[in-house]
Structure 1
Amino acid sequence: MARLTLDELRKKREDAKKEIYLREGKYRSKIVVHMGTCGIASGAREIVSAFLGEIEILTDKDVMLTTSGCAGLCSMEPMATVELLNSPTVKYVNLTPDKARRIFKEHILDGRIVKDYALGIGSEKGG
């Protein structure tokens, strides 16, 4: 295993704390943008920016945005997985910044799954 820099170690600690916060109820929702090479090439950075823009508007910062590697469905990138407490996990595919903003407003804020962009509902469950 490669040695980690202090900054990389701090980032890993922050990521682990965020995971724990979601499980302990400190975050109401979690958005994971898949950022493997295929996702980045397909526009995943723009999806992260769109979600961040929506999160910054919130007064209650109870939404965690994080990234992961490839989800294995390269032809459907960019992708994001949304987890809300007490709700099924949803994987959204073929995203654009406008689709991400719609998902944020309808699913994250209002709890309504945007079936137009959903590949799977409840097919995976985070920790």
Structure 2
Amino acid sequence: MLQFQKKDVERIALYPNLDYRQLYNVLSQLADVIPSLHSGVYVFSQALLQCIVCLLPFLDHDLINNIPYLLAGTMAVLPTELHTEIINYLCYYVFPFTICRKAEDDAENFASQSISAVIMMVFEYSSSTGKKFK
């Protein structure tokens, strides 16, 4: 159901009617606040990443397409210890559902078009060459 945009209404109807869009917006704004934190940055950042990834099935198609770019962008502000975790989330949880996602008019979606930008962001912010080859 997650791969087909046509079934978004059916998929979203399966879940409780909560404001997932607003939760996504708040989580993306919290990512911008991380550099100003002084303690607990690692734990907070790890919880933030888990929340963003767990939110994937509950979002509309336009926000699902933005998740890869958001996660790659967090590499600039999150601790370097979490870069491997971000790459794992992208490779194993986010990309399988966003890249092959079919739009209603069979056009290529935003996530597929922005994959090169996401990969370039990973190359730019990742310090270890081993992480880049994943």
- The TM-score, its normalising length taken from structure 2, stands at 0.27
Larger CA Rg, structure 1 vs 2: 2
Higher helix share: 2
